[in-house]
Amino acid sequence: MSYAYLFKYIIIGDTGVGKSCLLLQFTDKRFQPVHDLTIGVEFGARMITIRNKPIKLQIWDTAGQESFRSITRSYYRGAAGALLVYDITRCQLAFMYMIKTEGSRYHFIIKQRETFTHLSTWLEDARQHASPNMTIMLIGNKCDLAHRRAVTTEEGAQFAKENGLIFLETSAKTSQNVEEAFINTAAKVYQKIEEGILDVSNESLGIKVGYGAGTGAAGSTRNDSIASQSSCCS
C-alpha cells in the first residue's frame, strides 16, 4: 500500500515492561500473555491516517537487557519517534524471564518499580544517539493492574513534563490507550513536518517521503485519527 510518509519508531525500556506486547497489540490487535524475551530487535509495521494522509509506521522493538544496548543504540539513529516504556506495577511477585542462547540459560529478575527509576538512563541514551527533534512518548504500561500500582499517574506525568515528553498510561492486555500512544506520536511527528522543524528530505531523521505527501486536506479517519491526550486508561 502506498503512503505519503513513512515514520520509523523505536520502542525502548527495561526488560519485561511489555514492549513486545504493545507492538503486537497495535499491529495485530491481540495480546500474547507469554512472550519470548526479545533478543536484539523485532519489527512490526502498520498503516494509519493522519489528516487524510496515509502514514506507514515502521516500528522496531528493542531488547531491554544491557548486553544488547549497543544494538539498540544503532536504531536510535534514523528514528522519528520513540516509545519509552515502563511498568506501573509494584514487585508483588518476582518475575523471571529465561532465554536460551548457544546452550546457556540466562535468568532475569525484574523489579517493576525499577523500570521507572531507570527512565532517566534510557532518556539520556536516546538523546545522546538520536536526532534532537525525535518525538518521544512516555508510556506507563500495565494499567490494567492498577491494584498493584507502584508508580502513580502523577509521577509519570511529572517526569514527562520535566523532560518535554508526551505521556500516556496503557494496557497492552486490554488495548486501552495503545492506539493513542502510537497515533499521537505520529501526529506530533507530522506536526513537526508541517512546521518545518523536520527536513523530510533527510531520511536519517526517520522519515521517508512517499506519494501524495504534498496534497490533501485537514481531517482524520476513525481509529487512526489524532487521539486525545488523556493520560489514564479508565
Model confidence pLDDT, tens digit, residues 105-130? 554 445 556 899 999 999 999 999 99
Length of the chain: 234
Please tell me the distance from the alpha carbon of residue 74 to that of residue 63, in angstroms, as a whole number: 12
- pLDDT above 70 coverage of the chain, percent: 72
Alpha helices in 49-111 (DSSP H): 69-76
Please tell me the distance from the alpha carbon of residue 77 to that of residue 64, in angstroms, as a whole number: 17
On whether residue 13 sits in a domain, the answer given is yes
On whether residue 169 sits in a domain, the answer given is yes
Q: Are 59 and 27 in contact (CB under 8 A)?
A: yes
Give me 21's grid cell. 506486547
Structural domains of the chain, count: 1
Q: Which residue segment(s) compose the domain that 109 sits in? A: 5-209
64 pLDDT higher than 60: no
Please tell me the distance from the alpha carbon of residue 91 to that of residue 110, in angstroms, as a whole number: 8
Residue 21: HSE in the Cβ half-sphere, 13 Å Cα cutoff: 23
Rounded to 5 degrees, what angle do the CA atoms 80, 125, 189 make? Answer: 15
Global pTM reads: 0.79
Residue type, position 211, single letter = Y
On whether residue 227 sits in a domain, the answer given is no
On whether residue 229 sits in a domain, the answer given is no
On whether residue 67 sits in a domain, the answer given is yes
On whether residue 82 sits in a domain, the answer given is yes
pLDDT of residue 35: 56
Give me 131's grid cell. 536526532
pLDDT of residue 114: 86
227 pLDDT higher than 50: no
25 pLDDT higher than 60: yes
DSSP assignment letter at 138:
E
Here the CATH number for the domain that contains residue 135 is 3.40.50.300
On whether residue 231 sits in a domain, the answer given is no
On whether residue 166 sits in a domain, the answer given is yes
